Structure 1
Amino acid sequence: MNRLTLPLDIMRFELRRSFTPGRMAMWLVLVAFPIAIVAAMRGIANAALADRADPSDFIEPFGFTLYFLVPEVTCLLGLLLWATPAISTEIEGQTWIYLAMRRSGRRVVLFGKYLTAVAWTLSAALIATAVCVLIIGTPEMMKMWWVMSGLVVLSCFSHAAIFLLIGTFFYRRTMVSAVVYTMVVEYGLSFVPALVNKFTINYRLRGLLANGMEWDDVRTNAENIFGTEPSSTHLLVLAAFTVTMLGLALYRVEHAEYPTQQEG
């Protein structure tokens, strides 16, 4: 039973030592960035349309903006900072050799860091989502909040798994490798109208966005971007992807031989 709680102990330890001025400032930036953009857009829209503004006109454009700012940008930036360097920070801190000598130490630490990255990023993204939805103030606020919050959760768990896997392979150029993956795959191939985009996380999240908000017209006009699959298919693919990537990361970290700082 104690072994099962070890990842949670690692998570609590990592969270406690994350409360530094620098990391807290970054957390506040992740929260404030989408809120500032949405508030500015809302102010411009109100000034342009004045009393003729119909709140229902804001649902789709503001929904797309909020999706891009939070589930895609905020979540990915947070996970880049906390999930990707899970191994490299231990190697640079000369603590990896002690973890490698303990039974199941590698897997426990990696999974604990995975949970830490998800929790830290999720807290910022959910707060930003709630405030942004209140600022938008459409008649469908509750639906938008539920859908966006669900996408935030899925984005954090799935992207954290792939960033963790990238960190176990490219521990010397961790951030660069993760950024390249994000730009090429999630922001490039996910928009390619071919079979390859169906294997990206953002394609599945966009499909869930269109399904959850019931934007049938938008999906019909851009099937290659939003897909036509039901929500159950998107959820199953995301779950399979997350479990597979996380399993590969745990396998890799258990069998890889990482150099210590002296050896590197």
Structure 2
Amino acid sequence: MNRLTMPWDVMQFELRRSFTMGRIAMWFALVAFPVAIIATMRGIALASSANKFDPAEFIEPFGFTLYFLVPEVTCLLGLLLWATPAISTEIEGQTWVYLALRRSGRRMVLFGKYLTAVVWTLSASLVSTAVCVWLIGTDVMLRMWCVMSVLAVLSCLAHAAIFLLIGVLFYRRTMVSAVLYTMIVEYGLSFVPALVNKFTINYRLRGLLANWMGWENVRSNAENIFGSEPVSTHLMALSALTIIALGFALYRVEYAEYPTQQEG
């Protein structure tokens, strides 16, 4: 197998293997969850407006809800299922020993699994975003769809790298470690009005949301949550976090000694 094409071969294999009833149902569940919430919100807004629903009046509440449901929930749930157990599944399946014997096999397989997690999760996120924006029906629908789609891409790339690193470091308690990281760091520290929240992915994504949607009044009222940095700063921070986490995961997996099932 050519080392340059090995990650793509791994991704194709993993995606073909994902066509099972359980994983397809999981994909539809990730798509349906935000759609159901947005549809419910639209129904409530329609009822409260005496059947004269004006989406422009609810653009910010709908926008914040959609952002939270897709880049911060759907993306993370999908990546928890795909990126986090990248190593533990190979160890449990007793296939790790064969991958470890191949030259650059460890890194290439891990990178292939990273691509798989991003593609699988992003597909659900983009479909869900498109349906939700269509349901909202605002006059800035195209802008909102573009912004939420780009945020979903950035969220998948960055969070997948973090979860992959967690999976490499804590292969015995992978899911527990990833859930703790998510709850403490991304849903906890990212709202703390201190320097530490600037090192979280969700803080950067919220800053991009406010910048790209032009919600300056929201930023001025909640600067600790949405930040005041320009777009370039948020993008550079996300790029640095992604590259560092993914690079360290690939470096670590090359030299780590994982026990086989018999040894464990």
**TM-score w.r.t. structure 1 length?**
0.99
- Equivalents in 2 of 1:2, 1:107: separation in Å? 13
| Structure 1 residue 50 corresponds to structure 2 residue 89 | no
CA contact (8 A) 2:192 2:224 kept: yes
Residue 112 (structure 2) pairs with residue 148 (structure 1): no
Report the identity percentage.
78
- CA–CA distance in structure 1, aligned partners of residues 232 and 57 of structure 2: 29
Structure 2 gaps, min length 5: none
* SS of residue paired to 1:139: coil
The aligned residue for residue 24 of structure 1 is 24
Q: Which residue of 2 aligns with 1:181?
A: 181
Match of 2:122? 122
Contact 2:46 2:52 in 1 (8 A): no
Q: Show the counterpart of 1:204.
A: 204
Distance 1:188 1:74 in 2: 18
Give the equivalent residue in structure 1 for 2:260: 260
CA positional deviation for 1:51: 4.3
Q: Which moved more, 1:45-54 or 1:139-148?
A: 45-54
Distance in 2 between residues matched to 1:209 and 1:24, nearest whole Å:
30
Cα distance in 2 for residues equivalent to 1:87 and 1:55: 45
Deviates more, 1:46-55 or 1:217-226: 46-55
Q: Aligned pairs, how many? A: 264
* Deviations, residues 212-239 of structure 1 (Å, cap 9, x unaligned): 0000000000000000000011001101
Give CA-to-partner distance per residue, 1:120-147, whole Å, 9 cap, x none. 0000000000000000011110110000
2:131 and 2:177 map into 1 onto residues whose CA distance is 32
Measured after TM superposition, the shift of residue 56 of structure 1 is 0.9
Matched to 1:131, the amino acid is: V
Structure 1, unaligned stretches of length 5 or more? none
The residue that corresponds to 1:229 in the other structure is 229
> What are the Cα deviations for residues 132-185 of structure 1, in whole angstroms up to 9, with x where unaligned?
000001111011000000000000000000000000011011000000000000
Q: CA deviation at 1:2?
A: 2.9
Compute the RMSD of aligned alpha carbons: 0.9
1:76 and 1:66 map into 2 onto residues whose CA distance is 14
Counterpart-to-counterpart distance in 2, 1:112 and 1:21? 23
Q: Deviations over 1:28-76 (max 9, x none)?
A: 0000000001001101100111245432111100000000000000000
Displaced runs of 4 or more, over 3 A: none
Q: Deviations over 1:83-124 (max 9, x none)?
A: 000000000000000011111010010000000000000000
